[in-house]
Amino acid sequence: MTENSASLSDDRIRYLEELVRQGQIAAAVFTQFSQRDVDRIVKAMVLAGLDQAQYLARLAIEETGIGVLEDKALKNMVATEFVYNYVRDKPSVGVIHEFPERGIVEVAEPIGLIFSLLPITNPTATVLFKCIMAIKTRNAVIFGPHPKAWHACQEAIRIMYETAVKHGAPEAVFACLESPTIPDNNYLMRHKEVKLIDATGGPGAVKAAYSSGKPALGVGPGNTPVYLEKTAHLDMAVVDIITSKTFDNGTICASEQTVVIDDEIYDLALRKFAELGAHICSAKETEMLSRAVIDPDTGFLRPMAIGQKATDIARACGLRVKPDTKLLVAPIQGVGREHPLSVEKLCPVLAVYRAKSVDEALRVCVDVNHAGGLGHTAVVFSRQDEIIRRFSEAINAGRIIANSPGSIGALGGVYNDMVPTFSFGCGTGGGNSTMDNVNLYHYLNIKRVARRTPAHMWFRIPNQIYFNFNAVENLRDFPSRSTLIVTNPLLEQMGHVDKVRQSIPPEVRVRVLAIPDAEPEAQVVMLGVEALGLHDADQIVALGGGSVIDAAKIMKLKFLSPEADLDELAAPFLDIRKRAVKFPAPERQVRLIAISTTSGTGSEVTPFAVLLDKQRGRKVTLADYSLSPDVAIVDPQFVMSMPRNLTADTGIDCLTHALEAGVSIHASAYTDSNAMQAIRLAFQYLPIAYENPHDEEARSMMHNAACIAALAFSNASVGVNHALAHAFGARFHVGHGRANALMLPHVVAYNAAVPTKFMPSPNQRGYSAHKKYALMADLLGLSGATTWEKVQSLVTAIEQLLDRLEIPRSIREMGISQEEFERAMPDLAKVAFDDPSWRSNPRMPLVSELVELFWAAWRGRGPATRAEGTEQAAKECVRI
Amino acid sequence: MTSHAEWIAIDPERAADSLQEAVEKVNSAEGEVTLDFSAVRRIDAPAARAVEQLAVAESRPVKLVLHAVNGDIYKVLKLLQLTARFTFGS
């Protein structure tokens, strides 16, 4: 015997177990039914319920002595006809919703066996409602009626059950507990085969349900505040309140409890209540009423008053009222225990309060709401949307009924389009798991089939790109009143600025701002912003390498959006479309034309800009397509005099961009075409440009290659090579291109091997880095019969290119000792792992792998990462 | 008492009766008994109870094979925790 069954006899336990087993079988068999099957049964049940609505209402009245026959019959009809109107066309079997644009399909799964408690106040209507919900969703139910409404419930269940089985429902799909007791309820609530408790009942039953450890739907107590605001349609409001509060003698827990009336209309409102059959209590009568209907010990309504007529209650209190009195209206001066009638009164007794202001009215409504009605229902009558909005924000209620009766409004489907129900979820305020009008979806487990939906891709580049010798002359096609040329002093000295000026139409006012040739700092950016303002510039021409162009991008950003917080805009992100911080969208425009004087960074087309924060000793990277220049000019005349080492380093930077974009998880056919072309151009022309700096064709092609590679990585991003290079370059003050070169062969081999950890990449179908490298090898005409051999050939070709460019092939060769490198390693690994670049790498690097790659670069040529046990695995991978 | 393999086709029109008859046969059988569900699309509550009866006789010296049980019926048996008692053949 368990604690659960301690107070039950063996016979009773056998009885309950048999009910559960039969219900369990019914629920299991029910899972085979089709939508058509359940819809046919539901329709028959609805018709049977409608046919017996009055009969069942009479049974309920006779047994409980609560409510009004006509209203109970109406409730039975709402519970069938209105509920059916809501559920009839709603799928509840198999696929119930499809969202093709999201790739989501929702599929219904029945819950199984439900244990359902039934209330004394709405016994038969609740049965009809719950039976229809259960059949519609293919669930079996054991009902536990309130003992004082058992016969009425049992008869309603019988009618529903016989109709359902006659039309094909499984045997034992409904059962009604005979002689139900609290121990029965507790036993069933804790039974492992009962999958859900639906507790429509008093606070005790709801608490027991939630305490059982089972998923439960519960309703909370109500205490509906009503704000009758001075602009309301008063005649309508008074009739609605009387209709609602007298409906079934006030037994619906959503019915009005305290009406807070604006001072300006208070007296008039009470006169109208009186004219329509309400008795307005004097202060003395209010006290008599309070004493009679409210239990002073509990502070709640005495059970004898529930659902009784106003005249009967008046008689019991010793009040003299007219024989046709519908409602007792009792003025109160506050809310709380000292004002007993401010609680829920499930009878035709209504408290009213005179409010001197909107604020006071809202405060009193909130007090009523918190005096036992949290999460339930509230009502507001007003013609001002603003009042309704303020009320809805102040009040915690699942149903805020505007300009209509509370009880019938909350039931849904009559005065509004809310879901018809006989079970009001009250949210956490009422201790419930839902705040909804309980409906068929609460009787279902909803499964979601989520199809793979590749993220939307893009290929965003500047509007116009001009290339080849003298492309700078295109400047004359861009109208401008005032142009600021941002450059550096060296380029001024070399006469490059003059060439630019000559291409700008003579009527344009031109100013030159020469900034240091280094990563820009905030004060440099602000100098540019000042100059732009001073000269009222509508065009910026950035002439220089990456630093100058980056500075110009940030100048434009700060000039057009002075409020832009660069620190905030530099916040890290995983997906540029979902980033937490949005770049400003300024209304006015300033054209940015970028003319690159190096062949590597591709800053003339990229959406990136780096700012040096010297105070905090760090770089701030900004990334947003709004930073991309509007026009790029790729004119090789500006790179003819680039020094050889700069040619090599920037050229390798370009190659790294292309190789990383080519295998990025964001790579697409659009970026691939650019990446592949840049790789081909770099391999062909970089050595020539390095060895013969005056070769115009080689210079031109490398200049194009840098721009084309940038088009690829602007959209596909880079990878782990950049993360390593950023960390190493910053720590040992090594230029970006050279740092990239030291890592490159090792990273290619690393990416070609079987990943320890795959990178989540919805746009990729399988791991393909090795295949992409093999494709690059094919493009370059490299040897190899298998994918792996081709990858090896590509690595060898990169090593040979680096040799030809006379780039040191190991960190060791650069004079960094093993001890020094070892000391730096924890920081290097941390900084590299924090770098956002690797987040588009085809394989996710472990920190230990970053360390290994750093050491491979330190050792230099040789086995690199193909060793360390990954070579064989890589061969196996690439042979697939 | 039979000791050889027996094959019983379940009649879809009267699955519960058919299964009830099978219960009786199984009670007097040894070896292997196969219940062929290939014609049965769905089972009702009495049929489910009959399968339950078959399942509870654990000590019988007979191997019970349910042949060609479709996914829907298998789910019913799974929900009723009956699948462990049988061997399923396709």
| CA-based nearest distance A432→chain B, Å | 28
Assess if residue A447 is contained within a domain. no
**Residues linked to residue B88 through DSSP beta bridges, in sequence order:** B66
Instruction: Identify which has the larger pLDDT, A701 or B63.
Output: A701
Measured in angstroms, the CA of B77 and the nearest CA of chain A are apart by 8
List the structure tokens of A177: 């507990």
Name every residue whose Cβ is closer than 8 Å to that of residue A42 and which is 6 or more positions away in sequence.
Answer: A84, A87, A88, A132, A135, A136
Beta-carbon contacts below 8 Å between A and B: 39
Distances (CA, A) of A551 to A289, A526, A602: 80, 10, 14
CB–CB of B48 and A172 under 8 A? no
Q: According to the model, what pLDDT value does residue B59 have?
A: 59
- B2 vs chain A: nearest CA distance in angstroms? 32
Residue A388: partners with Cβ closer than 8 Å, 6 or more residues away: A380, A382, A402
User: What six digits make up the tokens of A275?
Assistant: 């004219």
Gap from A130 CA to chain B (nearest CA, Å): 22
CA angle A784, A679, A732 (to 5 degrees): 105
Interface of B with A (CB under 8 A): 42-46, 48-49, 52, 72-73, 75-77, 79-80
Domain identity same for A51 and A173: yes
Task: Label the pairing between strands A349-355 and A256-262.
Answer: parallel
Judged against a pLDDT cut of 50, whether residue A284 lies above it is answered with yes
Same domain membership, residue A613 and residue A666: no
- % chain B with pLDDT above 90: 61
Confidence of residue A38 (pLDDT cuts 50, 70, 90): very high
pLDDT for A454 beyond 90? no
Residues near B1 by Cβ (< 8 Å), separated by ≥ 6? Answer: B28, B29, B30
Q: Where a domain ends, among A391, A415, A439?
A: A415
- What is the average pLDDT value for chain A, to the nearest integer? 94
**Bridging pattern class, strands A608-613 and A618-623:** antiparallel
Q: A119 and A249 in one domain?
A: no
User: A731-762, pLDDT tens digit by residue?
Assistant: 999 999 999 999 999 999 999 999 999 999 88
Q: What is the pLDDT of residues A852-864, one digit of tens each?
A: 999 999 999 754 4
Indicate the pLDDT class of residue A255, thresholds 50, 70 and 90.
Answer: very high
Contact assignment for A25 to B73 by CB distance below 8 Å: no
| Nearest CA-CA distance, residue A333 and chain B, Å | 59
Residues of B in contact with A27 (CB under 8 A): 79
* Residue to test with chain A: of B53, B80, B81, B83, most A Cβ within 10 A: B80
Query: Which residue does chain A place closest to B47, by CA atoms?
Result: A29
pLDDT of A812 over the 90 cut? yes
* Partner-chain contact B45 A172, CB within 8 Å: yes
What pairing do the DSSP bridges indicate for beta strands A113-117 and A140-144? parallel
The residues of A carrying an active-site annotation are: 253
CB contact under 8 Å between A25 and B43, yes or no, is no
The A-side interface with B (CB below 8 A) comprises: 22, 24-29, 31-32, 112, 170-172
Q: Which residues of chain B neighbour A171 with C-beta distances below 8 Å?
A: 44-46
Residue A431's pLDDT band, with cuts at 50, 70 and 90, is confident
Which of B56, B79, B80, B83 would you mutate first to test chain A, the one with the most A CBs within 10 A?
A: B79
Give the mean pLDDT of A172-179.
97
A172 contacts in chain B (CB < 8 Å): 45
Residue A213 has pLDDT above 90, yes or no: no
Question: What does the alpha-carbon distance between residue B23 and residue A515 come to, in Å, rounded to a whole number?
Answer: 95
CB contact under 8 A, A171 and B46: yes
Is there a single domain that holds both residue A212 and residue A264?
Answer: no
The predicted structure's pLDDT at residue B85: 86
d(CA A773, CA A464): 31
In this model, does residue A557 exceed pLDDT 70? yes
Q: At what angle do helices B71-79 and B45-56 cross, to 10 degrees?
A: 60
CB contact under 8 A, B45 and A25: yes
**What is the distance, to the nearest Å, from the Cα of residue A627 to the centroid of all Cα atoms in its chain?**
28
- Can you give the pLDDT at residue A5? 63
Closest listed residue to residue A554, CA positions, set A514, A590, A512, A517: A590
Which residues are CB-contacts of A382 (< 8 A; sequence separation ≥ 6)?
A227, A229, A231, A232, A388, A391, A402, A403
Q: With respect to residue A122, please indicate whether it lies within any of the assigned structural domains.
A: yes
Interaxial angle between packed helices A310-317 and A283-293, expressed in degrees from 0 to 180 and rounded to the nearest 10: 100
B76/A32 touch (CB, cutoff 8 Å), yes or no:
yes
Strand A539-544 versus strand A482-487 pairing type? parallel
- Statement: residue B69 has pLDDT above 70: yes
State the number of CA atoms in the 13 A half-sphere of A482 facing the CB: 9
CA distance A47 to chain B (A): 25
Residue from A836, A797, A805, A455 nearest A649 by CA: A805
On whether both A661 and A751 belong to a single domain, the answer is: yes
Domain extent listing, chain B:
6-89
Give the gap in angstroms from C-alpha B45 to the nearest C-alpha of chain A: 6
What is the ipTM, given to two decimal places?
0.89
DSSP label at residue A392: H
Q: Does one domain contain both A260 and A291?
A: yes
Q: Is residue A1 part of a domain?
A: no
> Considering only CB atoms, which chain B residues are within 8 Å of A192?
none
Overall domain count for chain A: 4
pLDDT digits (tens, 9 = 90+) for A61-72: 999 999 999 999
Residues A835, A853, single domain; the answer is yes
Q: Is the pLDDT of residue B1 over 60?
A: no
Tell me which of A218, A234, A253 is where a domain ends.
A218
To test the contact with chain B by mutation, choose from A32, A109, A113, A194 the residue with the greatest count of B C-beta atoms within 10 A, namely A32
DSSP, residue by residue, A773-808: HHHHHHHTT---SSHHHHHHHHHHHHHHHHHHTT--
The partner residue sitting opposite A31, judged by closest CB among B44, B49, B79, is B79
For residue A825, the Cα-to-chain-centroid distance in whole angstroms is 39
Contact B72 A31 (CB under 8 A): yes
The stretch A10-36 carries a mean pLDDT of 98
Q: Is residue A528 predicted with pLDDT exceeding 50?
A: yes
Contacts of A24 in chain B (CB under 8 A): 79-80
Residues of A in contact with B48 (CB under 8 A): 25, 28-29
3-state secondary structure of A874: helix
Phi, psi dihedral angles at A102 (to 5 degrees): -105, -5
Q: Which residue of A has its CA nearest to B42?
A: A32
Q: Which amino acid is at A108?
A: A
Q: Nearest chain A Cα to B51, which residue?
A: A25
Statement to judge: residues A390 and A267 lie in one domain: yes
Nearest CA in chain A to B48: A25
Determine contact, residues A566/A622, Cβ cutoff 8 Å. Answer: yes
Written as six digits, the tokens of A187 are 């036993």
B79 neighbourhood in chain A, CB within 8 Å: 24, 27-28, 31, 112
Measure the CA–CA gap between A632 and A592, rounded to whole angstroms: 9
Q: Which chain A residues are Cβ-neighbours of B43 within 8 angstroms?
A: 29, 32
A26 interaction partners in chain B (CB closer than 8 Å): 45
Per-residue pLDDT tens over the stretch A357-412: 999 999 999 999 999 999 999 999 999 999 999 999 999 999 999 999 999 999 99
Look at A32 and B43 and tell me if their CB atoms are within 8 Å. yes
What DSSP line would sit under A131-151, residue for residue? HHHHHHTT-EEEEE--GGGHH
Report the distance separating Cα A874 and Cα A525, nearest Å. Answer: 48
**Predicted TM-score (pTM) of this structure:** 0.84
pLDDT at B28: 79
Domain stop point among A638, A670, A687: A638
Q: How far does CA A229 lie from the centroid of its chain?
A: 37
Which residue type, as a one-letter code, is found at position A305?
A
Q: Pairing between strand A444-450 and A104-110? A: antiparallel
Tell me, yes or no, whether A108 and A232 share the same domain. no
| CA pair distance A342, A590, nearest whole angstrom | 65
Helix or strand (DSSP H, E) at A44: helix A35-51
A433 in any annotated domain: no
Predicted local distance difference test score (pLDDT) of residue A219: 80
A569-613 pLDDT, tens digit each:
988 887 777 888 999 999 899 999 999 999 999 999 999 998 888
What is the predicted pLDDT for the residue at A873?
43
Average pLDDT of the residues in A277-281: 98
- Domain with residue A133: its CATH number is 3.40.605.10
pLDDT for B4 equals 60
User: In the structure, what pLDDT confidence band is assigned to residue B58 with cuts at 50, 70 and 90?
Assistant: low
Give strand ranges (E) for A412-529.
Answer: 444-450, 464-467, 482-487, 509-514
**Rounded CA separation A324/A317 (Å):** 17
Q: Would you place residue A707 in the very low, low, confident or very high pLDDT band (cuts 50, 70, 90)?
A: very high
Higher pLDDT: A862 or A298? It is A298
How many angstroms away from the CA of A312 is the closest CA of chain B? Answer: 51
- Is A21's pLDDT higher than 50? yes
Q: What is the model's pLDDT at position A862?
A: 55
Instruction: Compute the radius of gyration of chain B from its Cα atoms.
Output: 12
Rounded Cα gap, residues A166 and A816, in angstroms: 89
pLDDT, tens digit, 9 for 90 and up, residues A473-508: 999 999 999 999 999 999 999 999 999 999 999 999
DSSP A271-323: HHHHHTTEEEP-HHHHHHHHHHHB-TTT-SB-GGGTT--HHHHHHHHT----T
The domain that contains A670 carries what CATH number?
1.20.1090.10
**Does A283 have pLDDT greater than 50?**
yes
Residues A94 and A160 in one domain: yes
Instruction: Examine the domain organization and report whether A207 and A289 are in the same domain.
Output: no
Close Cβ partners of A678 (under 8 Å, ≥ 6 residues apart): A654, A655, A657, A658, A705, A706, A708, A709, A712
Residue A878 has pLDDT above 60, yes or no: no
In the three-class reduction of DSSP (H, G, I as helix; E, B as strand; rest coil), residue A574 is classed as: coil
Residue of B nearest to A26 (CA): B45
Domain membership of residue A314 (yes or no) is yes
Q: Which residue of A has its CA nearest to B73?
A: A32
SS (H, E, C) B8-64: EECCHHHHHHHHHHHHHHHHCECEEEEEECCCCCCCCHHHHHHHHHHHHCCCCCEEE
Residue A4 banded pLDDT, cuts 50, 70, 90: low
Q: CB neighbours (10 Å) of residue B37?
A: 23
pLDDT score at A868: 39
CATH number of B6-89: 3.30.750.24
Is there a single domain that holds both residue A603 and residue A684? no
**Model confidence pLDDT, tens digit, residues A75-90:** 999 999 999 999 999 9
CA atoms of A512 and A517, how far apart (whole Å)? 15
pLDDT > 70 in chain A, percent: 97
pLDDT of residue A572: 82
CA dist B31 and B37 (Å) reads 19
How, if at all, do strands A95-99 and A104-110 pair? antiparallel
Query: pLDDT tens-digit profile of A301-335?
Result: 999 999 999 999 999 999 999 999 999 999 999 99
> Are the CB atoms for A341 and A283 separated by under 8 Å?
no
Q: Is the pLDDT of residue B3 over 60?
A: no
Interchain CB distance below 8 Å, B80 and A31: no
Q: Which domain holds residue A185?
A: 10-218
